[in-house]
Structure 1
Amino acid sequence: MSLHVQTLGSQGPDLVFLHGWGLSARIWESLAGRLKTRFRCHLVDLPGHGESEAGPAGLNNWVDAVMNTIEQPAVFIGWSLGGLVALGAARRYPERVQGLVLVATLARFVREPGNDYGMKTQAIEATRRGLSEDFSTTLSEFLMQQVLGEPGAGRAVRSLRNDLMDQPPARDALERGLDILFEADFRDALPGIVQPALVVAGARDRMAHPDAMAAMVDTLPNAEFWRVDRAAHAPFISHEKPFADRVAAFAWDCAKPGRDA
């Protein structure tokens, strides 16, 4: 299965951008516009999102679809659900992942005994029910939750909503994305993911708590943590320029010739 990819830039190291649930690769266009003179930015539509066909269900199948589309080694930048795909790529294809930028991503997104952070099971199931009862309202409300408390919330909501309205995802893809959020658990796998990682948390994030992301850094062997003040779930939108600068410095370091993972 081949996914739709938009590539910006023609020189420099390769960056692969993986978007969050319900959206498309277009959410990265503004950020990639800042990076395209120094990097080749590959903006991937995940299965059933944007212009990509749905394909098989399951995180491993989504990871394989991405890696069948992006064949060269790259730094993978994953936001929320996209971060789980990036982690899966690092685990299944370690030689092709030069580094990871994990944005608002948790090793385990479901709150349960032994895991005090993440989303409650009831909230995920309510979102699932809402998809069949009121598709557009459910998605819009989900997007609003991601930027609450950010200084640029209005701009962020417009960016997210425009992406959603222009390229609405397939409903079965949304269901499969929720399944991945509900089922994925990288807690035991983190010690074996040795690639350099930049873990980026919004200080006001209500979905991926910054303390939980900081705990991930303690488990990943080669990770650094960046807590973005006044940001919520989408720091690459609300704090675009500092985000671009930090990612550029990290990615250049990851892509140095001879750099070991």
Structure 2
Amino acid sequence: MNKVDQLLLGTLRLVHRWQFGFKLRLHTAEQGRLAYLKSTPHKERPTLVFLHGLGASKDQWGTAVMSMARDYECVLVDLPGHGESLYEPFSDFGPQSLMSALEGFLETVVKGPFVLIGSSLGGCVAGLYAAKYPQRVSHLILLSPAGLGMKSLGPILQARLQRGQTGFGYRTVREMQRFWGLVYKRPPKVRSRWAQAMAASGKSRFNAVQRITNDFRREGLDVLLERLPSIVSSTLVIWGRHDQVFLHGTLDVMLEDLPNARGLIIEDSGHAAYLERGREVTAAITEFISTTH
């Protein structure tokens, strides 16, 4: 990625961090360094911890989610292998390994029970953490989580995986547009120069995304499914009606196995409902946190 692309995207990140009161912080562990954004604490309100999806980062939650920092202390984490987090080249990036990497971080950075929110890959990691540390997670919000088996995958993604391909990552503007067609109900329209910068950023992350996908497959695509009965935290599962990555019908399967959960379908949205229908998603999260124990 050239310097102009870096400047464009870097400036946008800084503007959003400033707008919502986030500061970049680093947590160093034996295996590497975790980067995260943290907002100002709010007395008598829980801390919200956000785990992003595959190939995304702490800065890609969108303005609706980031605006929750006005009412809650928010911690937005770059998972190992993503964003500004740096980990040893030999590290494993499957969801169970990602969860293990977060254990010490969460113990150090977040005091007391907290609200854990994860999207896609981050949803799988969040579910694994909640199953292992029920006393730490007061509320769990899963946004179209991964790790629920081959049957949960949409037909396009299933076909690509069966051919040994991946449905994630992009290196060119055309590949990015094809990927957006999979993730969004209505893909965003961006100007040519911005599209080129975003595609260049995707190219710089492409190999890492493929490695993480392979590590996930090695751990098992159903890694979260068997842990669902162990998740006793108050849980909200949110799914986009038109999700082509993970089928929204999987929600019913989850609710049968989760001891203390409710589900919500967001209309007119795809896999990234928190971006397409951000206000609806954040309103649902806020209502859930304030009315359940």
The structure with more radius of gyration:
2
CA displacement 1:89-109 (0-9 Å, x = unmatched) = 112222212221111114424
Alignment of 1:75-154 (within 5 A): 75-111=115-151, 119-120=157-158, 122-123=160-161, 125-127=164-166, 135-136=171-172, 138=175, 141-147=178-184, 149-150=185-186, 153-154=187-188
CA distance in 2, matches of 1:65, 1:206: 29
CA distance in 1, matches of 2:53, 2:178: 15
Q: Which residue of 1 aligns with 2:26?
A: none
Q: Does 1:49 align with 2:76?
A: no
CA distance in 2, matches of 1:106, 1:46: 15
1:253 shift after superposition:
4.1
Partner of 2:34, secondary structure, is: coil
Higher relative contact order (CA 8 A, sep 6+): 1
Q: Does 1:215 align with 2:253?
A: yes
CA distance in 1, matches of 2:191, 2:131: 33
1:141 shift after superposition:
3.2
Q: Which residue of 2 aligns with 1:188?
A: 226
Q: Which residue of 2 aligns with 1:70?
A: 106
Q: Tell me, yes or no, if the aligned pair for 2:49 and 2:117 is still in contact at 8 Å.
A: yes
CA distance in 2, matches of 1:7, 1:29: 15
Q: Which residue of 2 aligns with 1:199?
A: 237
One-letter identity of the residue aligned with 1:13: P
CA distance in 1, matches of 2:68, 2:210: 29
CA distance in 1, matches of 2:260, 2:191: 34
67, 91, 95: which one aligns with 1:34: 67
1:166 shift after superposition:
4.9
Q: Tell me, yes or no, if the aligned pair for 1:14 and 1:74 is still in contact at 8 Å.
A: yes
CA distance in 2, matches of 1:219, 1:161: 43
- TM-score scaled by structure 2? 0.73
CA distance in 1, matches of 2:53, 2:196: 13
In structure 1, list runs of 5 or more residues that go unmatched.
none
Q: Tell me, yes or no, if the aligned pair for 1:8 and 1:32 is still in contact at 8 Å.
A: no
In structure 2, list runs of 5 or more residues that go unmatched.
1-28
Aligned residues: 246
Q: Which moved more, 1:26-35 or 1:4-13?
A: 26-35
1:155 shift after superposition:
5.5
For the structure 1 residues 97 and 6, does the alpha-carbon distance in structure 2 shift closer, same or farther, using more than 3 Å as the test? same
